[in-house]
Chains A and B, each alone.
Chain A
Amino acid sequence: MASPFVRPYVRPRSPDDYPIGPCFTAGHLVETNASWRSDRPVLSVERCTGCLRCYLACPDGAVLRAGAAVRIDYDFCKGCGICAHECKAQAILMIPEEIKDVR
């Protein structure tokens, strides 16, 4: 399954533009949702072994696969820290949002 991505929002003009009942293509995202994060996970690609524990553990699907490693989707990460807690290689650190220069 392809990773969802944020698409431009087109406002429906009439009821006919809506799906029939509340059912629509999964992962059709039109807005980001990460504003309540206080700490953000920062990944060290050098340390990442590609074990995918974080990918499996993330409750929000905000850890994406990227080649041999992973990538964090900051548009949807809520900053819960489960990925950092689960990482055996200590490749993910939780950094306070006020500290901007750590990537």
Chain B
Amino acid sequence: MSVEATARQPQPLFMSGNEAVAWGARLARPHVIAAYPITPQTVVIERLSEWVAEGKLDTEFLHVESEHSALSACMGASALGARTFTATSSQGLLYMAECLQYASGGRFPIVMMNANRALALPWNIYGDQQDSLAVLSSGWIQIYIEDAQEALDMTIQGFAIAEHAEVLTPVMLNLDGFVLTHTYEPVDVPAQADVDAFLPPFRTPSKMSLEAPTSMGFTAGPAHYTEFKVQQHRAILRAERVASEVDQEFGRRFGRSYGGAVVSYRCDGADVVLVTLGSVAGIVRETVDRLRARGVAAGMLKLRFMRPFPEREIVQALSTARSVGVLEKDVSFGHQGAVFSEVSSALAGSAARPALLNFVAGLGGRDISRNDVEQMFDQLQVATVRPPGERVRFVGVDAWGAGELCSPRTIAGGFGEAERSEGDGVAGGVPKGGANPLRVPNSEENGNG
């Protein structure tokens, strides 16, 4: 089948995050797509299968009976030297769990989109990051996407990173379920010819072939297993440099680049920094701007990659911060958010010892409001002058952090000082007795005002 190559769209197309991923996958021209539909990823699979049916995409589309089979089929195809793509979400990602480790250990450079969604039970189809962060150690490169354009571009970049000879590691592209997968934005769609030039055909060093037979997926006993794992570890570490080079090359060719494993936003000289990942970065960025306008030295550090983990960049970006919060949509039950653990571990080796707070929010698709993010920065400001107490705070639950908010308004530049509490003599403009259910007074306030 010959497929007519699409030209660059003269103007941006209006599409959802899911459709942007589908376009990215289409332009990367995978030989094989094996996938099983699951909310909120389904549209990716629908678009790709429609294009195959219409003859617009020359791909072997395998309608498999499960996610376990989807990734298994991708591994088999990848072993033959095929470029392969799949997409999943939540329960589907966990159903693949065995194959995730298999694919990374086998060094199959599969690109997979994951629509971040909550895990059962209770049953819930809405967005959070518990799924991908539960498989953080599966040996995959993990990228967290903020908007639809980045979704299209990173699907293409994902293949360039995964298939790089020094990497040969599968890539998981994470899009927040619904918030990003179902939001429509204008997206620039590059020309097929330009993507072809950027993304040369995949050449695997370990091709299954009759001419040069190989033994694939063999056993390695205690004497040798470690060395294979060391190789995997080194390859995924090298991916940080490779991803940066790929991003720069993409920028030269397409005029868009995304700036490596972290994006530091107004972190220079910042006192309080909120670290986060995924689409919620938009509202955090906006909040930082409002705070800065009020003279608060606030910043945001967006993590684009969780694996490889950009420890050096994080330490550098947070070097001036007096308090650091981590906003994430997951929790490792019995400890703290998985991202918070990682960021804390990075900072343990640095000279800076900021106060650390973990904001667990957005679970099961609960909205993270502008007010929520403002309160996070409020609490971070309090933490610059007072030991924070309980560090893991479930946003919106049990008057989260109210104990820390009881008298923060004496802090210079504190939130709402100018607009809410001008000379009214009430801390933070919140009347005692707690008109705002999120800011009810606690024992400390009752005790000593």
- Output the nearest chain A residue to B234 by Cβ-Cβ distance: A15
Give the distance in Å from the alpha carbon of A14 to the alpha carbon of B234 in the complex: 13
Residues of A within 8 A of B106 (CB): 21-23
How far apart are A6's CB and chain B's nearest CB, in angstroms? 15
Judge whether A23 and B227 touch: CB under 8 Å: no
How far apart are A24's CB and chain B's nearest CB, in angstroms? 6
26 A–B pairs (Cβ distance < 8 Å), ordered by A: A15-B228, A15-B231, A15-B234, A18-B228, A20-B231, A21-B107, A21-B108, A21-B168, A21-B206, A21-B231, A22-B105, A22-B218, A22-B219, A22-B228, A23-B79, A23-B214, A23-B215, A23-B216, A23-B217, A23-B218, A24-B214, A24-B215, A26-B213, A26-B214, A26-B215, A28-B215
Q: Rank and list the top 10 A-B pairs by shortest CB-CB distance, nearest first.
A: A21-B107, A23-B206, A26-B213, A15-B230, A15-B227, A26-B215, A22-B218, A15-B231, A23-B216, A18-B227
Number of interface residues of A (CB under 8 A): 16
Cβ of B255 under 8 Å from chain A:
no
Beta-carbon contacts under 8 Å, B129-152 to A: none
Give the distance in Å from the alpha carbon of A52 to the alpha carbon of B168 in the complex: 42
Cβ of A67 under 8 Å from chain B:
no
* Size band of the interface chain B makes with A: 20 to 34
- Output the nearest chain B residue to A23 by Cβ-Cβ distance: B206
Give the distance in Å from the alpha carbon of A13 to the alpha carbon of B224 in the complex: 11
Cβ of A1 under 8 Å from chain B:
yes
Cβ of B121 under 8 Å from chain A:
no
Residues of A within 8 A of B231 (CB): 15-16, 18, 20-21
Cβ of B120 under 8 Å from chain A:
no
- 1/0 per residue, CB under 8 A from A, across B411-423: the answer is 0000000000000
If over half of B's interface residues share one DSSP class (helix, strand or loop), that class is named, otherwise mixed; here it is loop
Residues of B within 8 A of A26 (CB): 213-215
Give the distance in Å from the alpha carbon of A24 to the alpha carbon of B218 in the complex: 9
Give the distance in Å from the alpha carbon of A36 to the alpha carbon of B107 in the complex: 35
Cβ of A59 under 8 Å from chain B:
no
Cβ of A12 under 8 Å from chain B:
yes
**Cβ-neighbour of B216 out of A12, A22, A27 (below 8 A):** A22
- 1/0 per residue, CB under 8 A from B, across A39-69: the answer is 0000000000000000000000000000000
Cβ of A25 under 8 Å from chain B:
yes
- 1/0 per residue, CB under 8 A from A, across B110-123: the answer is 00000000000000
Residues of B within 8 A of A22 (CB): 105-106, 216-220, 228
- Output the nearest chain B residue to A16 by Cβ-Cβ distance: B231
- Additional 13 contacts, C-beta under 8 A, given A21-B108, A23-B79, A23-B106: A16-B231, A18-B228, A20-B168, A21-B206, A21-B231, A22-B218, A23-B206, A23-B214, A23-B217, A24-B215, A25-B213, A26-B213, A27-B213
Cβ of A8 under 8 Å from chain B:
no
Cβ of B205 under 8 Å from chain A:
yes
Residues of A within 8 A of B214 (CB): 23-26
How far apart are A14's CB and chain B's nearest CB, in angstroms? 8
How far apart are A28's CB and chain B's nearest CB, in angstroms? 7
Residues of A within 8 A of B168 (CB): 20-21
How far apart are B169's CB and chain A's nearest CB, in angstroms? 10
Residues of B within 8 A of A15 (CB): 227-228, 230-231, 234
Give the distance in Å from the alpha carbon of A27 to the alpha carbon of B213 in the complex: 9
How far apart are B71's CB and chain A's nearest CB, in angstroms? 16
Residues of A within 8 A of B234 (CB): 15
Residues of B within 8 A of A1 (CB): 213
Residues of B within 8 A of A25 (CB): 212-215
How far apart are B409's CB and chain A's nearest CB, in angstroms? 57
- 1/0 per residue, CB under 8 A from A, across B197-238: the answer is 000000001100000111111111000100110110010000
Give the distance in Å from the alpha carbon of A15 to the alpha carbon of B214 in the complex: 20
Residues of A within 8 A of B220 (CB): 22
Judge whether B213 and A19 touch: CB under 8 Å: no
Give the distance in Å from the alpha carbon of A53 to the alpha carbon of B220 in the complex: 33
Give the distance in Å from the alpha carbon of A95 to the alpha carbon of B218 in the complex: 33
How far apart are A74's CB and chain B's nearest CB, in angstroms? 22
How far apart are B438's CB and chain A's nearest CB, in angstroms? 51
How far apart are A35's CB and chain B's nearest CB, in angstroms? 17
How far apart are A102's CB and chain B's nearest CB, in angstroms? 34
Beta-carbon contacts under 8 Å, B171-221 to A: 205-206, 212-220
Give the distance in Å from the alpha carbon of A25 to the alpha carbon of B218 in the complex: 11
- Output the nearest chain B residue to A14 by Cβ-Cβ distance: B227
